[in-house]
Structure 1
Amino acid sequence: MDERTGNARERTRGVLDVLTVLLLSVTAVVTAWCGFEASKWGGEMSIAFSQASSARVQAASAEARAQAARQYDLTIYTEWVLAERDGDDELVDFIEERFTDEFAVAFQAWDAEGRIADGPFAMAEYVPPGEKEAAELRDGADEKFDEALRNNQRGDDYSLLTVLFALVLFFAALSQHQGARWRRLVFLVLSVVLALVGVILLATFPIKI
């Protein structure tokens, strides 16, 4: 009877040893994978932040171009107003020939409506060069910034999983040094539960190769 009990304990110990080694091996691989993914998403975050910054610089440049065009049109329009007030039709025609294409469209729309609006600049048709481009670049910069924040969160999620799997390794290794079988089982079961939780969470995370 004692010999049978001893053999049963040896078999149980052998099974636990195999399970522990298997758990340690799989967890080590998964931990390395989490570290790899955290690094990849960190890189994606840096790229997205860089793209957002570049887009904002380009948007500022386009906005400056639009401001310069608007200032030119305003100067020309001021001269037109003065010539119109003085009744100098020849000068009025001369100035109108020098309207930019963008301002000419708005001016014609304003004139066609009976000049009711507060000048051509108030017309929806007036879009100086660079204004649309600036708006698109700003929107693109905002999208890239949001993407960078999402990538940062994904990297943080993988880093937290690395900590979780490190706990699995800790408890699994600790179970190997327990003299009492029940204590070993407690630490091993705890390791398995944590590993399952980690794997379930891992399955919900996006992958970046």
Structure 2
Amino acid sequence: MPHEAREESVRTTRVLDIVTVVLLSVTAVLTAWCGFEASKWGGEMSIAFSQASSARVQAASAQSTAQAARQYDLTLYTEWVLAEAEGRDDLVRFVEERFTEEFAVAFDAWTAEGRTARGPSTRADAKFDEALANNQRGDDYSLLTVLFALVLFFAALSQHQAAPWRRWVFLGLSGVIVVAGIATLLTFPIKI
């Protein structure tokens, strides 16, 4: 092999080695980051599931307490709705004074929130949905970890190819996958 051809081959090999090392290094860091994020979102999922469970316990307790006075409260509430609809403020106040303590607290809270406040069951459902979303985020990061492992696999495979064009093919494939992975990673939420 002529001297110039050997120098070109050595330069090509050096370039390929540098590209491979950079690709492996960047991918190793991205893989670690994805593992970290998957772990963090798994923790967020656990917290949200615990909060959902707690809210469900509160909802069950509130439901039990409320059922004890429910019939009485429903009758009074019906009278309150009718009195308010008819504009009978004196009857509205009279009925409100007869609310059970539990119903009065709930009624006051409901009124203070503009009569749109949500109860513990709704909060529990929202926390459960949040936990499911956090679980999906963790799964997404885990999937990216697998994708970046594929980059590492192809980059490592490139090092064992005698022909430079095959090394370029494996490195090119690794590069395309890592760019796609990074583009996807940039769309994911971050939890630190």
Q: Same fold (TM over 0.5)?
A: yes
Counterparts of 1:179 and 1:109 in 2: how far apart (Å)? 85
Cα gap change, 1:162/1:109 in structure 2, threshold over 3 Å: closer, same or farther? closer
Q: Is the 8 A contact 2:12 2:164 kept in 1?
A: no
Partner of 1:205: 188
Aligned runs of 1:99-118 on 2, under 5 Å?
107=79
Counterparts of 1:25 and 1:108 in 2: how far apart (Å)? 70
Cα gap change, 1:63/1:180 in structure 2, threshold over 3 Å: closer, same or farther? same
Q: Is the 8 A contact 1:37 1:158 kept in 2?
A: yes
Cα gap change, 1:148/1:3 in structure 2, threshold over 3 Å: closer, same or farther? same
Partner of 2:90: none
* Highest RCO, 1 vs 2 (Cα 8 Å, sep ≥ 6): 2
Deviations 1:133-185 (A, max 9, x none): 89510111111011111101100100000000000000001100111111111
Match of 2:128 among 141, 145, 153: 145
Give the share of equivalent positions with the same residue, in percent. Answer: 63
Partner of 1:118: none
Find the residue that maps to 2:186 and give its secondary structure: helix
Cα gap change, 1:108/1:49 in structure 2, threshold over 3 Å: closer, same or farther? closer
**Amino acid paired to 2:41:** W
**Amino acid paired to 1:192:** G
Find the residue that maps to 1:204 and give its secondary structure: coil
- 2:43 matches 1:60: no
Partner of 1:11: 11
Partner of 1:193: 176
Aligned-residue offset at 1:70: 2.0
Aligned-residue offset at 1:131: 6.1
- 2:138 matches 1:155: yes
Cα gap change, 1:112/1:201 in structure 2, threshold over 3 Å: closer, same or farther? closer
Q: How many residues align?
A: 172
Q: Indicate the RMSD between aligned Cα atoms, in angstroms.
A: 3.0
Cα gap change, 1:32/1:108 in structure 2, threshold over 3 Å: closer, same or farther? closer
Aligned-residue offset at 1:32: 0.2
Aligned-residue offset at 1:63: 1.0
Counterparts of 2:144 and 2:85 in 1: how far apart (Å)? 65
Cα gap change, 1:137/1:109 in structure 2, threshold over 3 Å: closer, same or farther? closer
Structure 1 segments of 4+ aligned residues over 3 angstroms from their partners: 102-114, 130-135
Normalising by structure 1, report the TM-score.
0.73
Q: Decide which structure has the larger Cα Rg and report it.
A: 1
Cα gap change, 1:204/1:108 in structure 2, threshold over 3 Å: closer, same or farther? closer
Aligned-residue offset at 1:104: 5.6
**Amino acid paired to 2:187:** T
